[in-house]
Every structure is written in C-alpha cells, then in structure tokens.
Amino acid sequence: MKKRTKRWLGGLALAAGALGAVGTYLTRNKKMKASERRSSNQPGNVWARPGMMVTFRAELMPGREREQRTFRVKEVLSNGRVLLHGVDGEHAEKEFVPVR
C-alpha cells in the first residue's frame, strides 16, 4: 500500500472517531437537559410529605410504645431528610418504619 493511501485511511479513521465522540457528547447532553426539565416540573418520588405521620424504628427508641415513637413531619428538606414536630434534628428515611 502506498504511503499516500495509508495517510488517507488514517485521516479517515481519525475523522470517524471524532464524529463518534461528538455524537456521543451531543446525545448525552440532550439526555441531561431532558432529565433536568423533568425534575423541575415534577417533585419526584418522595418518601414523606409535610403533615404525614412517621414512626421511628423500635431499635432507635427502645422501651417506648408505637404511639410514643410516632411524630408528624414538619418539613421535607431538599436532601430527602425531614424535620419533625417535637423532635430536634434532621432524620433520614432509614430511621423510620416502612409504610405498608
């Protein structure tokens, strides 16, 4: 094969790789914009809502009855944690009994 043909094929391969990379970048960018648009329109799947009653797991409050471990959600924070009426601090979903 001539040197000129090798260079031409090498350039063609390089161009094909560049086009593939650009196509991948544009596809990924389009998907990211679509997911951002979707998340801004819908609140998403949240495990608690303000005013909802939640119960701490028995392991976290031993010796207390279910009624003593139940509190009302005051606020749901952006990181998925909650603030409760009557309890200080932020609390995560794994601290509570799952809703059936």
Q: Give the tens place of pLDDT for each residue, 20-73.
A: 999 999 888 888 877 666 555 555 567 889 999 999 999 998 999 999 999 999
Please state the pTM of the whole predicted model.
Answer: 0.55
Q: How long is the chain?
A: 100
Whether pLDDT at 91 is above 90: yes
Does a structural domain hold residue 78?
yes
Whether residues 61 and 91 share a domain: the answer is yes
Q: Which residue range(s) make up the domain with 16? A: 1-42
**What phi and psi values does residue 91 have, to the nearest 5 degrees?**
-135, 145
- At 39 the pLDDT is 57
Whether residues 36 and 64 share a domain: the answer is no
Q: Are strands 87-91 and 70-76 parallel, antiparallel or unpaired?
A: unpaired
Does a structural domain hold residue 13?
yes
Split into its structural domains, the chain has a count of 2
